[in-house]
Amino acid sequence: MFKKELSYYFSTPIAYIVIALFLLAVSLFLWVIPGQWNVIESGYAQVDGLFLIAPWLLMLVCPALTMRLFAEEKQSGTWLLLRAQPIALWKIVVCKYLAAFVLTVLALFPCIVHYFIVFYMAEPMGNMDGGQFAGSMMGLVFLSSSFIGIGMLCSTLTGSQLVAFILGAVSNFVLYWVVLQDHYRSISRGVVDLRDVVFFLSVAVAAIVVSILIAGRIGKR
């Protein structure tokens, strides 16, 4: 089921388009668009700008990847066919979540290129804190785990992918602004606190559980 969901992304243009737009936006902010995130303007050998802009971009990337998970199934009528198969409901939901999460991590991975570019630009070469960068990247991964869960939950609420995307983006923005931001900032400084990790995973697990409950009612209304 997981392989099926993951392969579906790569059988359609959506995965390539979303990842390409995300990486393009990151590159433009880091090297072209003026601001505190711009590497050249900062005058320092660091890529802190990546961790300033990535959360805001992921608010859109994650719901763009999750909007189809249930909305498309309901719209096309394939959800009932899927439920008729001998697969536990929780396995279906978890596999859908993991497929979107893995794809998001794959989208984040190429961002490491910016670290190595600045690494070789630094004077002296290599004068960078690799540990902090690694910790900050982990922060983005954990933040994505929450965003994906929220986006998937929103997809269970509607049969429209557009509505699911809007709901997911708005929900991610509100939750990030209210509670997720503080936990992310803590990890983005390179300090991985177990309490922050548990918080992000708790949000993801809660979203998965609620998604299972809602998905179980699809088609029974």
Question: pLDDT tens digit string along 2-30?
Answer: 888 888 888 888 888 999 999 999 999 98
Please check the confidence at residue 156 and state whether its pLDDT lies above 90: yes
Say if residue 221's pLDDT is above 60: no
Q: Say which range, 90-104, 115-129, 150-164, 198-212, has the weakest mean pLDDT.
A: 115-129
CA distance 89 to 107: 28
Residue 167 has pLDDT above 60, yes or no: yes
* Neighbour-count burial of 17, counting CB atoms closer than 10 A to its CB (0-12 exposed, 13-18 middle, 19+ buried): exposed
User: Mean per-residue pLDDT for 72-99?
Assistant: 87
Q: Examine the pLDDT at 46 and tell me if it is beyond 80.
A: no
Per-residue pLDDT at 92 exceeds 80: yes
Q: What is the pLDDT of residue 219?
A: 58
Residue 198 or residue 128, greater confidence: 198
In the predicted model, what is the mean pLDDT of the chain? 87
Contact (CB, 8 A) for 219 and 83? yes
Domain boundaries of the chain, sorted by first residue: 2-215
pLDDT at 212: 94
pLDDT of residue 26: 93
- What mean pLDDT is predicted for residues 127-137? 78
Which pLDDT score is estimated for 41?
Answer: 72
pLDDT of residue 173 exceeding 90, the answer is yes
With H, G, I as helix, E, B as strand and everything else as coil, classify residue 81. Answer: helix
Average pLDDT over residues 75-83: 81
Q: Is the pLDDT of residue 145 over 70?
A: yes
Please compute the mean of the pLDDT values over residues 34-53 and round it to a whole number: 77
> According to the model, what pLDDT value does residue 157 have?
93
| pLDDT value at 162 more than 70 | yes
Mean pLDDT of 35-61: 82
Is 207 in contact with 150 (CB distance < 8 Å)? yes
- Give the residue with greater pLDDT, 221 vs 55: 55
pTM: 0.91
Rounded distance between C-alpha atoms, residue 160 and residue 73, angstroms:
10
